[in-house]
Structure 1
Amino acid sequence: MISELESRVSRKLMLRIIPFVMLLYFVSFLDRVNVGFAALTMNRAIGLSPAAFGFGGGLFFIGYFLFEVPSNLILHRVGARRWIARVMVSWGIVSFASAFVVGPNSFYALRFMLGVAEAGFFPGIILYLSLWFPLRQRAAAAAWFMAAAPISTAIGSPLSGAIMKLPPVAGLADWQLLYILEAVPAIILGFFVLKYLTDTPAKAQWLQPEERAWLIAKMKTEAEARQAHAGHTAGALSALRDPRVLALALIYFGTSAGLYTLGLWAPLIIRQYGFGLFETGLLAGIPSILAVIAMIVWARHSDRTEERTWHVVIPCVVACLGFVFAGNAATALMIILALVIVNIGISAAKAPLWAMPSMFLSGAGAAAGIAMINSVGNLGGFVGPFAIGWLKNVTGGYSAGLYVVGATLAVSAVVTLMLSRQSKQTPVAVEERHGH
């Protein structure tokens, strides 16, 4: 039974932390994938081929990969409040500067710099949530946070489509206005982070003394339970060498390939059926609305049953089949239905997956391990979009690239099952069964 005190603390955590970090991720994801809408007119304006666009779009993740672990270790040392603020202001500035690219090389450079600037944000928030939310609520908390990505697509797609219909202002083209208008909120929110975020429960003056004491004791008890297991990892270097961390990174690779293929290429895939800019944005947003619902419901079920493995495997298989369906789609209705299936699968897999690392990682090990999973996994965000662009150049269509991305999700499902089988007596499996 959940006590009245625990229920009260949980409610306060959800209301105080989750809406704000969702807003930050909403803006982050918007600035990350609005290049897909800018491409509708930018590519011709600055001379980008499909392969060059796919390569440049994916370069974001190379910068992200190289600076992810150092960034998260700095966050662990200086605190989330100051470091997340730095991340947001710097990525807002780079996103703003993207309005002034003049050709492939400047496009490549700024996409790489955007990845460098934003490195550490997502794993930093995942690490931050693990400091505040007990295990029993962690998948649901992560799901609400990550729901900001499909919400960003659902709201941001029609918004971006509407901005792309604006007439030139001060000599700026539609795609330039898109970058500028969607970069400003990141810079403003960066300064607001300094005032709003609280680094640890011990500093939470917005909790009553007994609420704060209960939360500190609860998180300490769970940390001690983790450390009692032989498979627990607390050191940064140990975490980077841990086979479980590498396996989770490979699983995340497939989901990232799928997610960013949608973000970068869905507008262009939909547009080929003859829709206008605003209609394209509207249609690109529909699958994401359903994905948000699936993500929350699936994460709650995962928390309630204390099961993670099949809550990752099943959505990955669904998303894989969705990409195969998309590759065979012959009508606009079929492609929208396929995108719905893909969105639901990818979104549902993420929260149970991100509940796994904190079961066997803590301290600097959690900072390094979570960052490693995210940085290596996000290389899928380079491979997926690049494969679509390169194979479109070679074959003249999107089908081959969609099949390749679907295959990465099939690999994710298989690796999840292998990890579960090999971890029967490790903390991951034990805690799934007993909820420690």
Structure 2
Amino acid sequence: MSATDAVKDDLDSPALASAVKKAARHLMPMLIILYFVAFLDRTNVGYAEDALEMDRGISAGAFALGAGIFFIGYAIFEIPSNLLLKKFGARWWLARIAVTWGIVAAAFAFTSGDTMFIILRFLLGVTEAGLFPGVIMFLSEWFPNKVRVQMFALFYLAQPFSQMLGNPISGALISFGDTYTPWRGWQVMFFTEGMMAVIAGIAAIFFLIDSPQKAKWLDKDEKRALLRVMEAEDEVRSTDGPSGIMRAMGNWKVWYFTVIYFCLQVAVYGTTFYLPQQVRRIISPDAEFWQIGLISAIPWFVGLFVCYIVGKNANTIRRRRTWGTMFYTSTGLATIGAAFAGENGMPVLAIAFLVVSVSSFLACGPITWSYPTAFLTGTAAAAGIGLINSLGNLGGFVAPIMRTAIDERFTTETGLYGTISVGVFAFLAAVMFILTRNMRSRSDALLAAEEKTAAAPGH
């Protein structure tokens, strides 16, 4: 039986639907927790900046270098980590990643000076490398193409949850530490949140399963239906996509989506790194911290629902392309719109634009990842997905440097021109995304079968 026939026979089966629901229920909560804690440990350093300078003499230059050098370590070790995940299995390797980054994150409690701070930030990037692309590859081996965007979207929900809950968690730990322990509050925050990652990593050993074949909570019919569809998709990916590590790293499609993802990360980090400061400038320079935190949480709260709705309904190639182009465009428009509205004293409109910007780039991520996972498999997937994520995440290193340099060159109170530069990258991604309609391969018949099933009544 051909791959297309296998998909047509199995995609609409109750056994497959049951298998997907069980897999989501058993796997997704643990993966979301891992990503939530990763974002918390990645960004909590911002809450300790002043305290580190006062207590340990960490200079502003060392702090800035440490904040950015995380992405260098992350990029260098991303592909090796992903290849090792393929060798040892997602269950143990994702657990290893969480435990080691948790230990490094906790070690920030003992920071003694500039050098140690910079080294620890680099090591944090090294140890966390492989988590995100590893999960993306893991999900592509568990969930058929027609529901994969929905699973990616559920995984992405950890980002807005982390941004919404990170402030109160970190703030509460700092207050608790200063009041009730002999440590400083920032030490308690680093150590506790680092240990949260260690505990999550140990839990992952018990909750994650490497493949459907090993899942005891799937019955024989569910395993058979899921495996037939995944094997059919894998057959097409191995025919259409590159084979092996070097061919994947030299494949033009991999580099095409690397550029798109880089543009996305510039938009993401060019906004999130500066969101509290931008909100303060919009509402009032004298605004209280709790006011800034509350208003800054609004875009992430709305983004939760947008990301989930888009993931659930972006179940055809045409819809993904259309929605992806639309959300990249709205990211650019809203990012620039927020800057202009803030510059011209329209705070309500500026906040509304920020809500659209954050919601849009959150929706872009799951849609974008559905493309490379549709043509990469095996070690090629490990290398290709690792390359896209590692080089793409360098946008997080470039964005603050670019935005700061442009703001210093064209001085404005609201950082107008630096914000415009971020929006330009989103527009570039939109143009590249709409051009994916020119990508044709022998997987079209398989994808068409999936789209036909997804569009049928009852789906």
TM-score higher than 0.5: yes
Q: Does 1:219 align with 2:234?
A: no
Residue 312 of structure 1 is matched in structure 2 by 324
Residue 198 of structure 2 is matched in structure 1 by 187
What runs of 5+ residues in structure 1 fail to find an aligned partner? none
Superposition map of 1:137-286 within 5 A: 137-166=147-176, 168=178, 170=181, 172-228=183-239, 231-271=240-280, 273-286=285-298
Q: CA deviation at 1:65?
A: 0.6
1:256-297 per-residue CA deviation (whole Å, 9 max, x = no partner) reads 122223443323333453333333332222211111111111
Residue 356 of structure 1 is matched in structure 2 by 371
Cα separation, 1, equivalents of 2:54 and 2:398: 23
Residue 287 of structure 1 is matched in structure 2 by 299
Cα separation, 2, equivalents of 1:285 and 1:409: 22
Amino acid at match of 2:166: G
Q: Does 1:403 align with 2:420?
A: yes
Superposition map of 1:70-89 within 5 A: 70-89=80-99
Residue 337 of structure 2 is matched in structure 1 by 325
Cα separation, 2, equivalents of 1:430 and 1:105: 56
Match of 1:415 among 432, 451, 455: 432
Structure 1 segments, 4+ long, off by >6 Å, are none
Q: 1:393 to 1:39 in 2, by over 3 A?
A: farther
Q: Does 1:95 align with 2:105?
A: yes
Amino acid at match of 2:260: I
Residue 27 of structure 2 is matched in structure 1 by 17
Cα separation, 1, equivalents of 2:444 and 2:323: 14
Q: Secondary structure at the residue paired with 2:198?
A: helix
Cα separation, 2, equivalents of 1:253 and 1:82: 29
- Maintained 8 Å contact 1:306/1:432: no
Q: Secondary structure at the residue paired with 1:207?
A: coil
**TM-score under structure 2 length normalisation:** 0.86
What runs of 5+ residues in structure 2 fail to find an aligned partner? 1-10, 452-459
Q: Give the paired residue count.
A: 431
Match of 1:32 among 26, 30, 42: 42
**TM-score under structure 1 length normalisation:** 0.91
Cα separation, 1, equivalents of 2:361 and 2:187: 30
Cα separation, 2, equivalents of 1:151 and 1:343: 13
Cα separation, 2, equivalents of 1:349 and 1:431: 24
Of residues 363-372 and 320-329 in structure 1, the stretch that sits farther from structure 2 once superposed is 320-329
Amino acid at match of 2:422: V
Q: 1:306 to 1:325 in 2, by over 3 A?
A: closer
Q: Secondary structure at the residue paired with 2:287?
A: coil
Q: 1:325 to 1:285 in 2, by over 3 A?
A: same
Cα separation, 1, equivalents of 2:443 and 2:359: 25
- Maintained 8 Å contact 1:157/1:282: no
1:355-388 per-residue CA deviation (whole Å, 9 max, x = no partner) reads 1112111100111111111001100011112333
Cα separation, 2, equivalents of 1:341 and 1:430: 35
Superposition map of 1:35-74 within 5 A: 35-39=45-49, 41-42=51-52, 46-49=57-60, 53-74=63-84
Q: 1:393 to 1:101 in 2, by over 3 A?
A: farther
Cα separation, 1, equivalents of 2:347 and 2:47: 18
Amino acid at match of 1:118: E
Residue 341 of structure 1 is matched in structure 2 by 356
Cα separation, 2, equivalents of 1:332 and 1:37: 25
Cα separation, 2, equivalents of 1:174 and 1:238: 49
Cα separation, 1, equivalents of 2:182 and 2:401: 31
Of residues 89-98 and 69-78 in structure 1, the stretch that sits farther from structure 2 once superposed is 89-98
Q: CA deviation at 1:202?
A: 0.8
Cα separation, 1, equivalents of 2:63 and 2:400: 9
1:113-164 per-residue CA deviation (whole Å, 9 max, x = no partner) reads 1110100000000000011101111110111011111111122233334445
Q: Secondary structure at the residue paired with 1:205?
A: coil
- Maintained 8 Å contact 1:258/1:406: yes
Cα separation, 1, equivalents of 2:59 and 2:446: 50
Cα separation, 1, equivalents of 2:174 and 2:294: 13
Q: Which has the larger radius of gyration?
A: 2
- Backbone CA RMSD of aligned residues: 2.5
- Maintained 8 Å contact 1:139/1:352: yes
Q: CA deviation at 1:105?
A: 3.8
1:95-124 per-residue CA deviation (whole Å, 9 max, x = no partner) reads 112233345443332222111010000000
Superposition map of 1:102-141 within 5 A: 102-141=112-151
- Maintained 8 Å contact 1:57/1:385: no
- Maintained 8 Å contact 2:177/2:189: no
Cα separation, 2, equivalents of 1:146 and 1:431: 26
